[in-house]
Chain A
Amino acid sequence: MARIPGVGLAKGLSITLRHMLRKSVTQQYPEVKPDLPPRSRGVIALVEENCTSCMLCARECPDWCIYIDSHKETIPAPEGGRPRQRNVLDRFAIDFALCMYCGICIEVCPFDALFWSPEFEYAEGDIRNLLYEKDNLASWAQTVPPPPAHDPGAERPKELTAAPKRPARTPAAQRPRAGTPAAEAPSAATGGSAEEPASGTSETGPAAPPSSTPGGRPRRPMSNVRGIRPPGALPATPQSGDSAEQPGPDDTGTETPSSTGQQRPDELSTASGEPQPKPEPEEQTSAASHRRRRMTDPRSIRPPGRLGPDEPKESEEDS
């Protein structure tokens, strides 16, 4: 209780008066676009090239609002090998009339084919038009923003902490013999600080543009490559190939025999960003984030198993 009667009343009046003199907080939406944080759940974007139609997203979806049709294609045997099968995506559709924006499909996707985009202006007059096919979903991939940087003192991302096992395995396979030591050095140097991922991206930056510019063409070859070497096949590559280069020719050769010569360099160049990451995870994450920043990049994220053809490139970069 206020000692003087009416003090509370006067305080209330002063509050409303002060609010009137202050600037109002309204954003006039159609004229002023809202400044959304990068992780806003606006719409789900599809990076079609990364999709293996594994159906994980469709199965995990609580609303069953993802529709995937695919068929298997048999790829003729390379040379003397057995023919492989790969999935070809025929249809990928999300019914946003059913979607409840839980994001489980995005979390569950093992190949980075689904992303949140903050784009939200896709209202439709008819509920049936909210069923978006894969070309629509792919067009939204252009709007996916780069993920925000980690906080200065934050816990290190899982990709980095879980990584040390990897290099241990790769030396056993004797793959990146040349690559590992060289690659480790920069990582160790940059290791601690939060700025370092940024520097890492900047380093890879110059390397990436060449990859992205030809990337328009090589996109298809990339998907082919992925088709040939699903993640499960990863252990197989070290066994089969003594040298790292061998898998590369195999891939291109099997897929499009005619254009082998031309496409291989491209492929290698696109791969050039990645080889480093493999041996050392830290760079991998940075490279991935860098990819996301420019929108063509999500497509070039490879499934974790993919190692082979990149190695020579990696050595080149080091040198």
Chain B
Amino acid sequence: MLEVALSFVVILVVFLVLPLIIGQTEHKVMAHMQSRLGPMYAGRFHGWAQLIADGVKFAQKEDIVPAAADRRVFMIAPAVALIPYLVVLIVIPIDRDRVAVDLDLGLFFVLAVMGIGVLGSIMAGWASGNKYSVLGGMRSAAQLMSYELPLVLAASSVAMAAGTLSLPGIVEAWQWWWLPWQAIGAVVFFLAGLAELRRPPFDMPIAESEIIMGPMTEYTGMRFALFMLSEYAGIVVLSFLTTVLFLGGWHGPFLPGWLWTLLKVFLLAFVVIWFRVTYPRLREDQLQRLAWAVLVPLSLAQLALTGVVKVLT
């Protein structure tokens, strides 16, 4: 019992710290990719405390609820967006036998709970009483509909290969040659996950230049900060999941297992940032076409491939 409580505390700390580290990395990486320096002053050394300063700023701001808003829904929406990612972390293994709760249905649980996160932005969009927010919320819903399918198909391919839905079980069964075998599934899973997070190549729902942050238009202060935190927590969770499902989690030479997991997570987070800097936003129709005409067929092909190899071996 004590052990479970302790692991929950660790998870909470990880959940609060990793998004900050990734956010800071995004500041600096994005700046240097654009030949800038990024934050340089907060905390004296290369602006390492920039996000802490941002947090202080957010905490000081007034919490405004628009008169036309659906008050209660408006206020709980950020929590709905944020908490699923915290819950998902519970079942993700960091090292061999290092998992808070070893669920037999781990993968199913993860996919189900991650789907709830999107509800937060739909709620926020509807409850704000703002046409831009409604547009953004509807786009979120459309994006969730179309990208959940390839995400689940790609994940089920791994589950087929491993013969289990338990995340530690999947990592345990992982072999190095799964990398080429599941490569298509990995790419599809990662892209679909990005789209579900509404990260920049797929950030049509929040598109600040046309619908002004979409569902977040009316949010200020801490509630807005919670939305931002959920975005970065989403990156952490997506990177963890891709690592665990496709990159073999703690498997790796020389280094201890948990370090391998973290290394792979940071590598994937870097790729997320890299995509954000490099690619312009997809139009709404391009977004849908990519999901239905590219990712779904690819994931089906991956499923077929997995089945054929599974039967042959």
Contacts and interface: CB of A to CB of B under 8 A. Distances in A.
Interface of A: 9, 12-13, 15-17, 19-20, 22, 24-26, 28
Given A13-B274, A16-B274, A17-B274, A26 B279 contact: no
B278 A24 contact: no
B209 interface: no
A16 B35 contact: no
Contact of B33 (A9, A16, A25): A16
Contacts of A26: 35-37
A17 B29 CA distance: 10
Contact of A16 (B37, B40, B277): B277
Contacts of B6: none
8 contacts: A15-B278, A16-B278, A19-B32, A19-B33, A19-B34, A24-B32, A24-B36, A26-B36
A242 B183 CA distance: 101
B278 A28 contact: no
A28 B37 contact: yes
B278 A13 contact: yes
Contacts of A15: 278
Contacts, number: 33
Contacts of A22: 35
B33 A28 contact: no
Given A9-B279, A19-B32, A24 B274 contact: no
B278 A19 contact: no
B232 to A, nearest CB: 20
A128 B133 CA distance: 44
B278 A12 contact: yes
Interface residues of B, number: 14
B31 interface: yes
Contacts of A12: 278-279
Nearest to A10: B278
Contacts of A19: 32-35
Nearest to B28: A20
A11 to B, nearest CB: 10
A32 B91 CA distance: 51
Nearest to A22: B35
Contacts of A20: 29, 32-33
Nearest to B294: A5
A28 B31 CA distance: 14
Nearest to A19: B33
Nearest to A18: B33
Nearest to B40: A28
A180 to B, nearest CB: 58
Could you tell me the dominant secondary structure of chain B's interface residues? helix
A179 B247 CA distance: 90
A175 to B, nearest CB: 62
**Most chain B beta carbons < 10 A, residue from A15, A16, A24, A25:** A16
Contacts of A24: 31-32, 35-37
Nearest 9 pairs of A and B residues by beta carbon: A26-B37, A16-B33, A20-B33, A20-B32, A16-B278, A12-B278, A24-B35, A25-B35, A16-B277
Nearest to A23: B35
Contacts of B34: 19
A25 B31 CA distance: 11
A13 B201 CA distance: 13
A12 to B, nearest CB: 5
A279 to B, nearest CB: 55
Contacts of B29: 20
A51 to B, nearest CB: 44
Given A12-B278, A24-B36, A26-B37, 9 more contacts: A9-B279, A13-B278, A16-B274, A19-B34, A20-B33, A24-B37, A25-B35, A28-B37, A28-B40
A15 B36 CA distance: 15
Interface in B28-57: 29, 31-37, 40
A9 B278 CA distance: 9
Interface string B9-41: 000000000000000000001011111110010
A47 B35 CA distance: 42
B267 to A, nearest CB: 13
Interface string B62-90: 00000000000000000000000000000
Contacts of B33: 16-17, 19-20
A17 B40 CA distance: 21
B47 to A, nearest CB: 12
A15 B34 CA distance: 10
- Highest count of chain A CB atoms <10 Å: which of B32, B36, B275, B279: B32
B76 to A, nearest CB: 38
A28 B39 CA distance: 11
Nearest to A12: B278
B163 to A, nearest CB: 32
Contacts of B278: 12-13, 15-16
A77 B104 CA distance: 114
B298 to A, nearest CB: 12
A15 B279 CA distance: 11
A17 B35 CA distance: 11
A65 B274 CA distance: 51
Contacts of B36: 24-26
Contacts of B40: 28
A19 B37 CA distance: 12
Nearest to B277: A16
A25 B32 CA distance: 9
